[in-house]
């Protein structure tokens, strides 16, 4: 029997999902791979995977898909690991470096710039390691994922993008959802959600397992409070608002 190809992000915030999937019988029906968000979107778009934890901004690239899970990667207020990092206050920033790992966070920043901060920035693409050497002066950078833990102390100003979104809209933000580009059975969908739920029920154990990898991070706080996993009606409203505003954006100036 062919296995369902499943792609999941390799960040700490997905560990509960990964734990549940690996500890359940559904693991025998999957070919599981770890990727950065932008790669998952590309793999789904080019039929290199069947089911993925895809950034919301990547949904428009899919010809046909179904969101199959009642869980997501989201936040209600501060998320901590999606930030605009800078050495100067936002009113003095003129250029923003766009994290190559996530289109959703870049798109969120562009939305906030236009509709909330009311600022025009110059935008620049990046590659691996940019956060170590390119942010400074009036140049800020969008940073996502676990490497925020490593470098957050290097910057005087860190604007939490989920918190900024919440201030702007009073809605949660959804970073990624589980989308399938091929039909999966009802039984697979049920088993898949049960596996994710099992992982979320064991956050305390996951925090202990990951302690040595993130010694300076309160993992229980991060997974239990900063990340909000249930894909409820409020998050669906937040996702809808995000996609509506994204469609109103004009092309931006690139350096």
- Give residue-wise pLDDT tens across range 198-220: 999 999 999 999 999 999 999 99
Cross-strand partners of 51: 6, 180
CB 141 within 8 A of CB 99: yes
Digit-coded pLDDT (tens) for 91-146: 999 999 998 888 899 999 999 999 999 999 999 998 888 888 889 999 999 999 99
Angle between helices 103-111 and 161-169 (to 10 degrees): 40
**DSSP readout, 4-42?**
EEEEEE-SGGGHHHHHHHHHSGGGGGEEEEEE-HHHHHH
- What the chain holds in terms of domains, given with CATH numbers, is 4-77+172-246 (3.40.190.10), 82-169 (3.40.190.10)
Q: What is the pLDDT of residue 253?
A: 62
CB 52 within 8 A of CB 233: no
| Percent of the chain whose pLDDT exceeds 90 | 85
Share the mean pLDDT of the chain.
Answer: 94
| β strands within 49-167, DSSP E | 51-55, 66-75, 82-86, 95-98, 122-125, 139-144, 157-160
CB 142 within 8 A of CB 99: yes
CA dist 228 and 208 (Å) reads 20
CB 68 within 8 A of CB 180: yes
Q: pTM score > 0.75 for this model? A: yes
């Amino acid at each position: 029997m062919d296995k369902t190809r499943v792609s999941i992000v390799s960040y700490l915030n997905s560990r509960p999902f990964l734990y549940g999937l690996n500890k359940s019988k559904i693991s025998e029906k999957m070919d599981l791979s770890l990727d950065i968000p932008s790669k998952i979107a590309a793999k789904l778009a080019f039929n290199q995977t069947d089911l993925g934890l895809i950034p919301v901004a990547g949904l428009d690239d899919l010809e046909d898909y179904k969101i199959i899970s009642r869980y997501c990667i989201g936040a209600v207020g501060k998320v901590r690991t999606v930030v605009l990092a800078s050495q100067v206050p936002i009113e003095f920033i003129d250029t923003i470096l766009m994290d190559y790992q996530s289109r959703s966070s870049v798109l969120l920043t562009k939305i906030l710039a236009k509709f909330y901060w009311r600022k025009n920035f110059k935008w620049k693409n990046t590659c691996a390691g940019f956060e170590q050497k390119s942010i400074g002066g009036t140049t800020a950078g969008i940073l996502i994922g676990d490497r925020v833990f490593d470098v957050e102390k290097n910057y005087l100003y860190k604007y939490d993008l989920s918190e900024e979104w919440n201030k702007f809209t009073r809605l949660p933000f959804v970073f990624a959802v589980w989308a399938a580009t091929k039909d999966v059975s009802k039984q697979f969908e049920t088993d898949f959600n049960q596996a994710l739920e099992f992982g979320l029920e064991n956050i305390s154990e996951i925090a202990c397992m990951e302690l040595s990898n993130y010694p300076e991070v309160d993992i229980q706080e991060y997974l239990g409070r900063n990340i909000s996993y249930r894909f409820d009606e409020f998050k669906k409203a937040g996702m809808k608002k995000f996609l509506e505003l994204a469609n109103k954006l004009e092309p931006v100036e690139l350096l």
